[in-house]
Amino acid sequence: MKERIMALSGIFQATELVRQAANHGTWSGYSADTCLESLLAIEADSVDDIFGSANRLRLGADTLISVLQGDRRYMESLSYAVSIMQLENSFRKKTKMQAHIGAELLPISQIDDGTEIHEIKDLQARKIADLYTQTISTLSPRIVVNGRPQHLQVDRTVHWIRTLLFAGLRSAVLWRQLGGGRFSLMFGRKKMLEQAQSLLPG
C-alpha cells in the first residue's frame, strides 16, 4: 500500500507542478527534479530507487491528501491526474513505443556536459519534451494544459510541463504495476488518506 501511495503521489506531484508552471510560470525546482529523476530511473529495482525517498514526494502527498479531502483548489491537478491515468491505458498497449522511449531516455539520463546542474536538467527536460511530442502526444486522450498564455509561450516552461506530464505517466504505469486501479481509488479512500498522511514527516 505504501508503494502504491508513493506512485500515486508521484502522479499528483507532477500534475500539481504542471498547474503551477502553466498558471504562474514558476514551480518547485526540488519537486520537479524528483519527477525528472524518477522518469530517468530506468534500471530502478524498487519504488524508493525511483523516487529517492518518500520525503521527496511531499508536494505530491500534500496534493493527494487535499484531493481526497475534497479541497476544490486542486481540481485542476486532479483533472490532469485522471487524464494521465486514462493515457496510461493507451500507453500500456504500445509495446514498441515503450521500447523506443526506454532506448531514448537512457542517453538523456547520462547527459553530463560539465555545465551547471540546473543547465543539465534544463537540457534533459528539452530532450524529454521532444520525445514526448514524438510519442506520448500522439496517443489518446491528448492532455490539454490550461494556463496563462504568457507562461505557455515560454519554451523552458513548455519543456518542463511536457517532462512533468511524462513523469506523471511513469508514475501511473508504476501505480498500475503495483496493483492500483479504478476500484482501489473508488473504495480505498480512507486507507489511502491514512497512508498518504503517514508519508509526510511529522
Q: Which CA distances in Å does 4 have to 10, 34, 142, 195?
A: 10, 17, 25, 10
- Domain carrying residue 166: 2-199
For 126-148, write each residue's pLDDT tens digit: 999 999 999 999 999 999 999 99
Three-state DSSP at 179 gives coil
Q: Cα 117 to chain center, whole Å?
A: 21
Count: domains in the chain: 1
Is the Cβ–Cβ distance between 165 and 147 less than 8 Å? no
- Model pLDDT, residue 108: 96
- Model pLDDT, residue 183: 57
The predicted model scores a pTM of 0.94
Q: What is the mean pLDDT of the chain?
A: 92
Distance, CA of 192 to CA of 180 (rounded, Å): 11
Is the Cβ–Cβ distance between 129 and 167 less than 8 Å? no
For 40-93, write each residue's pLDDT tens digit: 998 888 999 999 888 899 999 999 999 999 999 999 999 999 999 999 999 999
Structure letter (DSSP) for residue 147: -
- Model pLDDT, residue 199: 82
CATH number for the domain harbouring residue 141: 1.10.3890.10
Q: What is the 3-state secondary structure (H, E, C) of 27-66?
A: CCHHHHHHHHHHHHCCCCCCHHHHHCCHHHHHHHHHHHHH
